Amino acid sequence: MKIAALSLAVIAYLAILVLTYYGYINLFPVDVVFYSSLYSVAIALFVFGFVLYLLPVFKLLNFFEKFNIMIIAGLIGYIFAISLPTVIDRSLSFYILEKLQQRGGAIQLSKFDYIFTNEYMREHKLVDIRLTEQSESGTIIIDGECVRLTSKGHSLANFSRFFRQNFLPKKRLLRGEYTDELIDPFSRSDSVPEYLCE
């Protein structure tokens, strides 16, 4: 009987989470998709806590079991927040699939550079949305026509570079060939770009 109650609890939380997320994104302005997803998770957990406490079917569960269910529900919510709305919002891989579908299922391989530069950037407002996210996260400030890193941004960039160079695969498959090019992508950057702020 307890296993049935635990299963019902997970199903109930998933239903509450989906409804909460759907309501949140349709009723409130969203600054950053990931943060809004996490807010939805927190609201759903709060509602779920009442459901767990008030519904008679869950009375046979003791406090420790209910506490564990709340932790599991929170982890499920976190997985949801990262794996669905955030990944779909940010994923170039999903964009490729959607673009192929939009264009009838096939695109010339040589045209993907054009698509990424001229269509992907424009269609997804990539620069605007990423600058908004970074600004809202406190990692950059936009000072007139200049975008500057904050101290938090410097710390995250240092961590990212360290992780990329030390903990990403050294032999990664890129179109049929294993390479380490992506652990130091800036090695192919212009040495003195013309876009620096004074």
Q: What confidence tens digit (pLDDT) does each residue in 119-174 have?
A: 999 999 999 999 999 999 999 999 999 999 999 999 999 999 999 999 989 888 98
- The enclosing H or E element of 86 equals none
Nearest to 40 by CA among 80, 90, 72: 80
Contact indicator for 116, 96 with CB cutoff of 8 Å: no
Say yes or no to pLDDT of 182 above 90: no
Co-location of 7 and 74 in the same domain: yes
pLDDT level of residue 54 (50, 70, 90 thresholds): very high
pTM of the model: 0.80
Instruction: Write down the pLDDT at residue 183.
Output: 86
Is 80 in the same domain as 143? no
Count of structural domains within the chain: 2
Q: Which residues pair with 141 in a beta bridge?
A: 148
Residue 52 lies in a domain: yes
Query: 110 φ, ψ to 5°?
Result: -65, -10
pLDDT at 172: 87
Helix (H, G, I), strand (E, B) or coil at 52: helix
Among the listed residues 101, 123, 122, 119, the one whose alpha carbon sits nearest the alpha carbon of residue 111: 119
Q: 3-state DSSP call for residue 146?
A: strand
* Cα maximum dimension of the chain: 69
Q: CA–CA separation, 186 vs 160, rounded Å?
A: 13
**Percent of the chain whose pLDDT exceeds 90:** 79
168 and 128, same domain (yes or no): yes
Domain extent, residue 46, equals 2-90
Asked if 43 and 12 sit in the same domain, the reply is yes
